[in-house]
Structure 1
């Protein structure tokens, strides 16, 4: 269980923006009007090596307990139970209000560490508000900007004393029993891409029915649609369950101006979060564009297995040249994961759709793979022997051993000394070796560096 950090404050001080900043995704709906958030929302946050569960709450309002705002406040009060730290957020530009002071009084009565966060602190207009916060008696306030990401280092230092000893132990995780992975479980397969690439048409072709609305207009799909279906493998006649997820088209960020489209794109990103394998659909008549690479990078950053499918292959010109050109551009533009599967399909004629599904199941197997620690360290010893780590400035970097802490996506923890001096090129060497030698194919891999704590560091 990860430690839990709760965000508390009056409406419209930027709690949901802070939540989104810490989880690294726009999970919480944000708008200028107060009171957008009503229910608690949980997210997995990562801050400079600290892992914790972050909880966004409704704005604290002084209303009748039977009213909607009053019930929202009751939800916030209940959510403190089980939390390890509270982030009390106020608007530094507006300064303290009577409602802020009421919240502070309530927090002082709780047996919970509180960190005061002065949000919207960019610029000199916030200085007086930050000074006022010293009067709350909850410690020094942190100057923060959730919108721009300023103050993350200060927030990390404030959270570290409360969360450091509650971090999950990667060694213990690696020694736990193997994660149960059932290759026959439902494959969660999301289809993403630019508008009008043929995502809904592809799903209709797989289902062999007009399940989703399609047409020549771009942007017909707005909500992410999930459809449970069974695919029959033509080679074995075995039926395998699939959950197909159709998503809204993702245009360049500068072109997305309407609020509804912004929400649709955010919904598509959430669909990626809940998928296992993501198919990025290209339009063969338009080739590979910069926006496609941005979408692919987003999918890989989320740790999902990625397949690139070129649709409308039946009308492609110079098919061989197009395929080779896209392959080369992908290897150059997605250097972090070379060799991403590339499949040419046609939703209109049904070309290679079974191949696409088979590749999806195969890459999920690689994405879910766990390597025994003994085999992993045999590879590790060979990798060190073939290419020892450098000694920058004459200081030797000692790499002791490696464990696989998680799967889906595969996550490894490397233990040693002076790891802060390990060059990124050597880190890439290890990741590429894991992928190439241990059968992980073109799936995203996480490598965390962990050094033992220095007992004399504070003396």
Structure 2
């Protein structure tokens, strides 16, 4: 995968001026949560943006509030201030309909003291309601205000004209470098494919050195953001004693060095909002946050379910784990706050036993003891995550799959209910991520679930899939004389059996 370092443009302003709406407009999708109430955004969020062909990385930030540094709004302001370090440009957004406020002037004063070039954005400028506010913007001494309506997409051309002189040269140079790198990568891929075809081997569907998409999920206050900050060795995400601080799912690209091999690996760390029991989630914003977290799970490769060592395993944890497995993601579980755990040995064994009982559909899910404070166990967990993704993405050679299938049938032939044999003819792998297999045969509607489970367990044990979700479906040949069934056969569990 080509790693691109796009020019970075930070969006700054007080609460409720439309920063997240502008961010979503620039990236072309609803990545950031948007609501009428102020203070929705708390952590800074990044996304690849495009503006009339000009590509850059947009950064959404929390609303700037004049509060004590130790308070939650004060810590959010500190995150916004840090976001400007290393940025190529800033978009200072104010509400043209409300006009300038003392807080806008405070932000402008701070921005003038920075070295980053600033484009002044007069948002909500649709119609005539923002004309006086646009004129007020000139008093800030930051150049001509750019009238924009982030909600309706107005003012895009003017914004492009103001932004291009600041980042255009770098963006064009980057595009040239990326084209050259992609050409080299395509040539190498073609050589690997030709070599595999000559050797009669199947080419791997995934590059093992590709970035790992790793989502961290769990109940509120389990330490998800603290753990990611520890890995990054910086206060990238907002943390604190308050429950439910994280709202948006935040993705951060990070370069991890494997201490065992010294190899550098790219990981996309995804922080998510805490997931409480559904009955307790009544606030609109919390519902949006949980939905955003579940979408992050759907697009992750490996998901780490983080437990709180001071609370152990709860029913909600099992529900979250089941959801991850239903989506076919590779799952691992980490017990956080191990540095303050009481009777750690009994805790670990108890959680292990409860997981094997509560997640009967997939026993042996990897379990780790970690500490976001001391860093204990984090490298071990990350190394295991790459191995888990490898199993989750692996395709079994056809010859090895057929050998296993023949051995499994010989060791334990299918039953013959009513004296009529169930014939299992052959098996094929139809996909990966998660691994998916189809068995073809006759009278498959009569095959007991216990025998399917026998085959599924054999697949995992003999073919090295370990504790990753595996889909197994059964399919019969079409019977033109069977009008009721239409020859469709049986598909285990609706979604395939894990």
Q: TM-score range by the shorter chain?
A: 0.5 to 0.7
- Alignment-derived partner of residue 154 in structure 2: none
> 1:391, 1:420 → 2: CA distance?
12
- Alignment-derived partner of residue 289 in structure 1: 314
SS in 1 for 2:244: coil
- Alignment-derived partner of residue 380 in structure 1: 405
> 1:394, 1:249 → 2: CA distance?
54
> 1:276, 1:321 → 2: CA distance?
31
- Alignment-derived partner of residue 351 in structure 1: 376
Q: Note the C-alpha offset of 1:394.
A: 2.3
Query: Which one of the candidate residues 409, 420, 425 is aligned to 1:395?
Result: 420
Query: Which one of the candidate residues 453, 461, 465 is aligned to 1:428?
Result: 453
- Alignment-derived partner of residue 51 in structure 2: none
Q: Does 1:274 align with 2:287?
A: no
- Alignment-derived partner of residue 24 in structure 2: none
> 1:224, 1:358 → 2: CA distance?
23
> 1:298, 1:176 → 2: CA distance?
35
SS in 1 for 2:438: strand
- Alignment-derived partner of residue 288 in structure 2: 263
Deviations 1:84-104 (A, max 9, x none): xxxxxxxxxxxxxxxxxxxxx
Q: Note the C-alpha offset of 1:387.
A: 1.2
Query: Which one of the candidate residues 302, 317, 323 is aligned to 2:342?
Result: 317
SS in 1 for 2:333: strand
> 2:466, 2:318 → 1: CA distance?
19
> 2:262, 2:461 → 1: CA distance?
31
SS in 1 for 2:414: coil
Q: Any residues of structure 2 matched to 1:163-242 within 5 Å, and which?
A: 178-242=203-267
- Alignment-derived partner of residue 473 in structure 2: 448
Q: Note the C-alpha offset of 1:407.
A: 0.6
> 2:413, 2:468 → 1: CA distance?
25
Q: Unmatched 5+ residue regions in structure 2?
A: 1-30, 34-199, 485-498
The TM-score with structure 1 as length reference comes to: 0.61
Deviations 1:389-417 (A, max 9, x none): 11222222110010111011000000000
> 1:392, 1:300 → 2: CA distance?
32
Q: Note the C-alpha offset of 1:333.
A: 0.9
- Alignment-derived partner of residue 361 in structure 1: 386
Contact kept in structure 1, 2:204 and 2:394, CA below 8 Å: no
The TM-score with structure 2 as length reference comes to: 0.56
Q: Unmatched 5+ residue regions in structure 1?
A: 1-26, 30-174
SS in 1 for 2:206: coil
Q: Note the C-alpha offset of 1:178.
A: 4.2
Query: Which one of the candidate residues 271, 277, 285 is aligned to 1:252?
Result: 277
> 2:267, 2:228 → 1: CA distance?
11
Deviations 1:122-180 (A, max 9, x none): xxxxxxxxxxxxxxxxxxxxxxxxxxxxxxxxxxxxxxxxxxxxxxxxxxxxx996452
- Alignment-derived partner of residue 13 in structure 2: none
Task: Please say which structure displays the higher CA radius of gyration.
Answer: 2
Deviations 1:410-452 (A, max 9, x none): 0000000011111111111111110011000100000011100
Q: Note the C-alpha offset of 1:458.
A: 4.1
SS in 2 for 1:385: helix
Q: Any residues of structure 2 matched to 1:298-313 within 5 Å, and which?
A: 298-313=323-338
